[in-house]
Chains A and B, each alone.
Chain A
Amino acid sequence: MKETPLSNCERRFLLRAVQERKRLDGRQCYDYRNVRISFGADYGCCIVELGKTRVLGQVSCELVPPKPNRAAEGILFFNLELSPMAAPAFEPGRQSELLVKLNRLIERCLRNSKCIDTESLCVVAGEKVWQIRVDLHLLNHDGNIIDAASIAGIVALCHFRRPDVSVQGEEITVYTPEERDPVPLSIHHMPICVSFAFFEQGTYLLVDPSEREERVMDGLLVIAMNKHREICTIQSSGGIMLLKDQVLRCSKITAVKVAEITELIQKALENDQKVRKEGGKFGFAESIPNQKITAFKMERAAVDTKDVEEQAEEIITKADPPSEVFTKPILHTPGTAQIGEGIENAWGDLEESEREEAAEEEGETDATAFECQQMEMEDTITSCRSLYNFFFFFKDEPIVLSDSEEEEVVILEPQDVPRKTRTQANLKQENTSKKTLNKKRKKKRAAH
């Protein structure tokens, strides 16, 4: 699906807001959004939420032969996937530029910085080493995927436990988690990426841009640093030119932010460790809160049930008696019959609307008076007809109803209706013809 285009209006507004140092969600320029880390039931599985941006990280391991030029080192494999549920613009199976860029950045940040000791992953030099695979899935895109992904990656690696291995001569024994507790990976330091968005050729700077801000930014600077103030990776994209002191200022801000985030990660890991040791419940089912929408919930209204019985009796007495149920089969035409109650046919309504149209053509002032009278007549006619039916059913004979509409024509016997003179003659003719028709129908019915 294509992305919704950004309108000029939004662009102008966001730039104005940046100039006034205002952000869409009320943060300050150098504020990060809330970081929330939750762990799954398995070792090595975690979800990191940076505001509304969510990344899921999962680590797994496997014994494989090592790379020929690095026989005594383990293998690290990183994979970041932009799931289509993250944003409508992401399609599965498409290698977009953004995806390649993000993958490369995560690899450089976590692999080239040597935060994981790969030599400790070696089991038998030249034959078997551990291959650690880190899968990162983006679940929701609300800006700043890089930061969230780097945090998820490092947290998942810290949380992961690999099976214990012992080597005796030529034999390698891999212990299952039941036999021996799994061993954590040896991690030297934790590099964290921090992104800076630049606007107006580097004049304005925002930390942790949200999705809207990312769309209007001129350039992006990403610095990956660990808590010992060592820069692991630095990348500038967007083609903006930055001054030396701007970059230095950014690195100072990064140092502060990284310290905060590292502390948060440590706390989260400790908490999880504690919970697992004490045997309490852990895993996503516990840590991700149940989000319910309660805006439309209404309190149950108290129902007044005092006069219910009296009211019910009143209603019953006032209501018309239910129509009789006849169980005689009615033959519509040879071959089709009807058993059971049917609704009183409302052919009268059709005729009524035709009458109204005719009345409108002739004169609006007359129409309303005509209609009122017509309604009353309708009621009497339908009650007459139901009496007719009643009368015939008593005779104990099957009644043949044909489909011809003539039978259902409503007979109107209009009384003194004030009408224009030119139509008076017509009406009188209608009256006489209808009356004769009426008589004919009566004869027909009597004959049955």
Chain B
Amino acid sequence: QYVPVKGDHVIGIVTAKAGDLFKVDVGGSEQASLSYLAFEGATKRNRPNVQVGDLIYGQFLVANKDMEPEMVCIDSSGRASGMGVIGQDGFLFKVSLGLIRKLLAPKCEIIQELSQLYPFELVLGMNGRIWVKAKTVQQTLIIVNILEACEYMTAEQRKQALAKLSGN
């Protein structure tokens, strides 16, 4: 179960639009709220294009155990720096929180090895959600399966599996 922490970057799913507020599910006990002004370049006239069911990458502004958490898609200086609505296509799946931290460590071997296979886009949320997009559906599925299996594979098993794939 994920516990929201201030400053954490997470992937959320928009569940409801309530006036000028979005309700976002982040996998915790409560849904987070996201104001429509918390995007780069958003004003009252210029609303961001967010629908119910979209994926959002943002960080927590307020997250304590007594209140519902609040998230924003903008950093302290007002720039997006990669946050916001995640594009269409690609696939979202869940892994354990420990694996996410391992992947986010600097110089993670897994990601380096995977990037040698084929190019892909990857977004990691601290709430255990990963979004992947590669050129074809088949490639995306391969990456998803490898990442899910990385939890239980040792480094050698992983290298073997990748060697087999790159040989194909």
Q: Flag if B145 contacts A17 (CB, 8 Å).
A: no
| Chain B residues with CB below 8 A from A26, complex form | 141, 145
Known: A22-B141, A26-B145. A297 touches B91 (CB 8 A): no
Count of residues in A whose CB is under 8 Å from the partner chain: 21
Which residues of B in the span 103-157 have a Cβ within 8 Å of any Cβ on A?
A: 131, 137-138, 140-141, 144-145, 150-154
* Nearest chain B CB to A33 CB, angstrom units: 14
Chain B residues with CB under 8 Å of chain A are 13, 15, 25, 27, 51, 53-55, 86, 88-92, 131, 137-138, 140-141, 144-145, 150-154
Which residue from chain B places its CB closest to the CB of A294 in the assembled complex? Answer: B154
Q: Chain A at the B interface: mostly helix, strand, loop or mixed?
A: loop
Q: Tell me, yes or no, whether A20 is within 8 Å of chain B by CB.
A: yes
Q: Flag if B88 contacts A8 (CB, 8 Å).
A: yes
Q: Tell me, yes or no, whether A16 is within 8 Å of chain B by CB.
A: yes
Q: Flag if A22 contacts B53 (CB, 8 Å).
A: no
Shortest 4 CB-CB contacts between residues of A and residues of B: A8-B53, A13-B91, A7-B13, A17-B137
Selected contact of A9 from candidates B131, B137, B141, B150, CB within 8 Å:
B131
Q: Tell me, yes or no, whether A200 is within 8 Å of chain B by CB.
A: no
Pairs A–B under 8 Å by Cβ, sample size 17: A4-B27, A5-B15, A7-B53, A8-B51, A9-B53, A9-B55, A9-B86, A9-B89, A9-B90, A9-B91, A20-B138, A22-B138, A22-B141, A24-B141, A294-B152, A294-B154, A295-B150
Q: Flag if B137 contacts A22 (CB, 8 Å).
A: yes
Q: Flag if A9 contacts B92 (CB, 8 Å).
A: yes
Q: Flag if A5 contacts B137 (CB, 8 Å).
A: no
Selected contact of A7 from candidates B55, B145, B153, CB within 8 Å:
B55
Q: Tell me, yes or no, whether A293 is within 8 Å of chain B by CB.
A: yes
Which residue from chain B places its CB closest to the CB of A292 in the assembled complex? Answer: B152
Known: A9-B89, A13-B91. A4 touches B151 (CB 8 A): no
Which residue from chain A places its CB closest to the CB of B99 in the assembled complex? Answer: A295
Which residues of A in the span 1-45 have a Cβ within 8 Å of any Cβ on B?
A: 4-13, 16-17, 20, 22, 24-26
How many contacting A-B pairs (Cβ < 8 A)? 61
Q: State in angstroms the CA–CA spacing of A7 and B52 once bound together.
A: 8
| Chain B residues with CB below 8 A from A5, complex form | 13, 15, 25, 53
Which residues of A in the span 69-97 have a Cβ within 8 Å of any Cβ on B?
A: none
| Chain B residues with CB below 8 A from A295, complex form | 150-154
Q: State in angstroms the CA–CA spacing of A13 and B134 once bound together.
A: 12
Q: State in angstroms the CA–CA spacing of A26 and B15 once bound together.
A: 30
Q: Flag if B91 contacts A25 (CB, 8 Å).
A: no
Question: Which of A4, A6, A25, A26 has the most chain B CB atoms inside 10 A of its CB?
Answer: A4
Which residue from chain A places its CB closest to the CB of B138 in the assembled complex? Answer: A22
Which residue from chain B places its CB closest to the CB of A88 in the assembled complex? Answer: B1
| Chain A residues with CB below 8 A from B151, complex form | 293, 295
* Nearest chain B CB to A344 CB, angstrom units: 36
| Chain B residues with CB below 8 A from A25, complex form | 145
Which residues of A in the span 183-238 have a Cβ within 8 Å of any Cβ on B?
A: none
Q: State in angstroms the CA–CA spacing of A10 and B55 once bound together.
A: 10
* Nearest chain B CB to A42 CB, angstrom units: 32
| Chain B residues with CB below 8 A from A11, complex form | 53
Known: A12-B88, A17-B141. A4 touches B152 (CB 8 A): no
Q: Flag if B152 contacts A9 (CB, 8 Å).
A: no
Selected contact of A20 from candidates B55, B91, B137, B154, CB within 8 Å:
B137
Selected contact of B137 from candidates A4, A10, A16, A293, CB within 8 Å:
A16
